[in-house]
């Protein structure tokens, strides 16, 4: 028999794939766990119980697809926008913005519930630029909490398709105002089919007259070869006689709008139209609505618009863009960095280069900037990859962040968003409604995945958005959660309580570890009302720091066993941690496959109330926190080392299972183990 004393010092490698069970030759094996469920891995290495979610309200129509989008103007003016079927609602400071009483402030849109998942967006100050392939690019502008407007972008002189190279000419009936423009044939217009009222109303048309360029906007289609258009007064046509061989049609038109947008070097970039999925369109420098490719006389200036098509051995449909040191362009077949051809110069129309950095494709999903790197969902939606500069290769690489936890990607990863403070967690939503977290802190080699299930019958996370919290003290994770409540399917907007705020005021009364929960604070009472959103559900209660027996909500209320002055009510969830097969580094060789047992554990905890442990989920006992010197209150958070004697179980699977099943805080910094192994 050999006796050893291994220690689990951290969990910075996260939940380990079952396919790596036994890979004790990997250093990361010793910093991982077989299960991390409803625990968040801290940057410091320990794990802390996931905070609960607070209920705000039901979405406008739970039968429809609904999506959350963040909007951050300043540290005190941050919003989450609820996009639903042809409307937007607005949330601020952990509540919904209302006009009068409880009526939500609402803005009408033309985006249907079937289209909102295809929206892309980027923000500049108090304007959100929004794109969708079936809608013209738009601006959502804010001038006050209840003052928002949504308008189409009024493009000035571009962007355009290439200059005509066919024999077709254009003639115009005038030089200003409303004019008739007639083409000599349909060749070169809409794949040689000519003008169409279905696509060309509102489209720009640029014509060169005697060396000078002017442009107009089409207002009517008279035939396949003739349109009526309004000439722009700032760049008018200069001649109304003759035919003109040099002309350009607008690149954006009905059925061919861009689907991706971002900023880079004071330019607004659009990309991925139906006809040009691998082309980027950059605005005039510092003028986000202007896209003229040159001056009226044809001269090209450095601040004119930029148009560039990615070239490789296949068409690279652009799936995302992000402006960092370079313009990072993600495609179905690889990642590119677009920049000036000079390392010290800004991007200009005549100095564009694109370097194909990797061949790892991206899904058509929003990327997540994270410090000096970018996280993105792989093209098959089973992986999350990192796009960052690698000094060893002197280039950008895109390693798989799920390589040690590939099982968590089963089920299709649909959405990711990064919460910087306090724990650098990239939150990921799977198609099945499971919430994943990746604690990501490259400087300390922390890349730890953890898995989360939001409480409730058939509960599924349907959308994510992260914004700076109140006064910018921490980042707040908002989500739409679908559940079955009292026999009906509902979708609720909720936000995850923050461990920073909880730790900042961590007393037995302040702990919030219930989902879809609410808090009562006030005069002593035994009746808690306002729980209509949990009608008919069995709820857990934390009453002045003590857990009460479960209650059933009836007519929106519950009756407590004891009066309360501060009470949290919500849906219960468990947090679970299961170690990998414990492997002490000792002179006796490996313990893998040998019969043995874990005799004793010492848990080093921080601000913790309640913990259970055992060799398996079916065999757990309470870890005793009270000693002969403890106060009578068992609900005060504890910090220190606490010993636990394991049940006498001999097995070749020497694992430790830990559980927190009460609505209390639980943070585990380290676990010291004493075990016996037999040959």
3-state secondary structure of 554: strand
3-state secondary structure 100-163: CCCCECEEECCCCCCCHHHCEEEEECCEEEEEECCEEEEEEEEEECCEEEEEECCCECCCECCC
Q: Of 277, 306, 279, which Cα lies nearest the Cα of 290?
A: 306
Q: Are 514 and 49 in contact (CB under 8 A)?
A: no
Residues 6+ apart with CB under 8 A from 401: 375, 383, 384, 385, 386, 438, 440, 447
What stretches in the chain show pLDDT beneath 50? none
The percent helix, strand, coil of the chain (3-state, each to 5) is 5, 50, 45
The confidence score (pLDDT) of residue 627 equals 61
Q: Are 417 and 425 in contact (CB under 8 A)?
A: no
State the Cα–Cα distance between residues 208 and 372, nearest whole angstrom.
45
Joined together, the tokens standing for residue 580 give 């990998």
State the Cα–Cα distance between residues 380 and 397, nearest whole angstrom.
18
Q: Are 78 and 71 in contact (CB under 8 A)?
A: yes
Q: Are 606 and 664 in contact (CB under 8 A)?
A: no
- pTM, to two decimals: 0.94
Q: Of 563, 596, 585, 574, which Cα lies nearest the Cα of 657?
A: 574
Between the CA of residue 540 and those of 21, 103, 293, 567, what are the distances in Å?
Answer: 36, 30, 63, 10
Which helix (H) or strand (E) segment holds residue 503: the answer is: helix 499-504
Cβ atoms within 10 Å of 230's Cβ, excluding its own: 13
Q: Of 647, 646, 603, which Cα lies nearest the Cα of 625?
A: 603
Q: Are 287 and 158 in contact (CB under 8 A)?
A: no
| Burial class of residue 57, CB neighbours in 10 A (0-12, 13-18, 19+) | middle
| Burial class of residue 232, CB neighbours in 10 A (0-12, 13-18, 19+) | middle
Q: Of 26, 70, 2, 45, which Cα lies nearest the Cα of 581?
A: 26
How do strand 2-4 and strand 667-677 relate by DSSP bridges? antiparallel
Rounded to 5 degrees, φ, ψ at 406 are -65, -20
The confidence score (pLDDT) of residue 628 equals 55
State the Cα–Cα distance between residues 542 and 34, nearest whole angstrom.
30
The confidence score (pLDDT) of residue 311 equals 84
Joined together, the tokens standing for residue 670 give 């380290």
> What is residue 199's DSSP assignment?
H
Residues 6+ apart with CB under 8 A from 392: none
Joined together, the tokens standing for residue 433 give 């409604």
Cβ atoms within 10 Å of 635's Cβ, excluding its own: 18
Residues 6+ apart with CB under 8 A from 301: 294, 295, 349
Which helix (H) or strand (E) segment holds residue 500: the answer is: helix 499-504
How do strand 425-430 and strand 413-419 relate by DSSP bridges? antiparallel
State the Cα–Cα distance between residues 288 and 138, nearest whole angstrom.
12
State the Cα–Cα distance between residues 658 and 613, nearest whole angstrom.
4
> Is the bond preceding residue 422 a cis peptide, omega within 30 degrees?
yes
DSSP string, 478-495: EEEEEEEETTEEEEEEEE
**CB environment 585-623: b (16+ within 10 A), e (fewer):** eeeeeebbeeebbbeebbbbbbbbbbbbbbbeeeebeeb
């Amino acid at each position: 028999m050999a006796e050893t004393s291994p220690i689990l010092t951290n969990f910075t490698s996260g939940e380990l794939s079952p396919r790596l069970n036994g890979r004790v030759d990997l250093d990361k094996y010793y910093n991982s766990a077989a299960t991390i469920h409803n625990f968040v891995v801290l940057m410091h290495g320990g794990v802390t119980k996931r905070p609960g979610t607070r209920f705000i309200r039901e979405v406008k129509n739970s039968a429809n697809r609904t999506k959350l989008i963040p909007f951050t103007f300043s540290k005190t003016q941050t919003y989450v926008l609820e996009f639903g079927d042809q409307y937007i609602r607005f949330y601020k400071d952990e509540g919904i913005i209302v006009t009068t009483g409880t009526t939500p402030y609402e803005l009408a849109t033309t985006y249907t519930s079937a289209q909102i998942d295809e929206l892309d967006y980027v923000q500049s100050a108090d304007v959100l630029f929004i794109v969708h392939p079936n809608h013209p690019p738009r601006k959502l502008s804010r001038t006050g909490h209840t003052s928002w407007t949504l308008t189409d972008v009024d493009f000035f002189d571009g962007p355009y398709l290439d200059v005509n190279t066919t024999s077709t000419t254009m003639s115009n009936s005038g030089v200003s105002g409303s004019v008739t423009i007639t083409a000599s044939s349909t060749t070169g217009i809409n794949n040689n089919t000519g003008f169409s009222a279905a696509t060309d109303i509102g489209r720009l048309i640029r014509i060169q007259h005697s060396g000078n360029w002017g442009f107009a906007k089409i207002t009517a289609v008279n035939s396949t070869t003739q349109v009526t258009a309004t000439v722009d007064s700032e760049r008018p046509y200069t001649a109304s006689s003759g035919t003109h061989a040099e002309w350009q049609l607008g690149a954006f038109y009905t059925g061919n709008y861009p689907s991706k947008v971002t900023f880079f070097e004071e330019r607004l970039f659009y990309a991925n139209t139906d006809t040009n999925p691998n082309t980027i369109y950059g605005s005039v420098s510092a003028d986000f609505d202007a896209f003229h490719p040159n001056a009226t006389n044809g001269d090209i200036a450095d601040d004119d618009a930029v148009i560039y098509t990615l070239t490789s051995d296949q068409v690279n449909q652009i799936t995302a863009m992000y402006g960092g040191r370079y313009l990072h362009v993600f495609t179905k077949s690889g990642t590119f960095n677009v920049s000036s051809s000079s390392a010290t110069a800004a991007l200009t129309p005549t100095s564009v280069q694109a370097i194909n950095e990797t061949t790892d494709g991206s899904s058509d999903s929003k990327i997540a900037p994270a410090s000096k790197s970018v996280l993105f969902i792989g093209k098959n939606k089973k992986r999350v990859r990192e796009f960052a500069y690698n000094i060893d290769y002197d280039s950008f690489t895109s390693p798989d962040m799920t390589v040690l936890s590939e099982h968590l990607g089963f089920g299709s990863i649909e959405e990711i968003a990064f919460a910087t403070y306090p724990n650098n967690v990239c939150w990921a939503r799977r198609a099945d409604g499971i919430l994943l977290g990746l604690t990501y802190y490259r400087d300390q080699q922390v890349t730890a995945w953890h898995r989360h299930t939001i409480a409730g019958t058939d509960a599924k996370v349907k959308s994510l958005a992260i914004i700076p919290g109140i006064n910018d003290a921490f980042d707040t994770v908002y989500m739409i959660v679908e559940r079955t409540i009292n026999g009906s399917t509902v979708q609720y907007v909720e936000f995850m309580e923050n461990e920073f705020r909880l730790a900042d005021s961590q007393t037995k009364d302040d702990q919030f570890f219930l989902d879809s929960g609410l808090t009562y604070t006030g005069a002593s009472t035994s009746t808690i009302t306002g729980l209509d959103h949990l009608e008919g559900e069995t709820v857990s209660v934390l009453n002045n720091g003590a857990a009460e027996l479960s209650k059933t909500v009836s007519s929106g209320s519950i009756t407590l066993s004891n009066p309360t002055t501060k009470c949290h009510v919500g849906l219960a969830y468990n947090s679970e941690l299961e170690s990998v097969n414990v492997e002490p580094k000792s002179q006796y060789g490996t313990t893998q496959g040998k019969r043995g047992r874990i005799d004793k554990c010492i848990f080093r905890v921080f601000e913790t109330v309640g913990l259970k442990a055992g060799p398996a989920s079916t065999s757990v006992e309470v870890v005793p926190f009270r000693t002969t010197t403890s106060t009578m209150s068992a609900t005060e958070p504890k910090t220190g080392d606490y010993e636990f004697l394991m049940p006498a179980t001999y097995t070749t699977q020497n694992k430790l299972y830990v559980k927190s099943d009460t609505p209390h805080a639980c943070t585990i910094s380290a676990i010291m183990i004493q075990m016996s192994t037999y040959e």
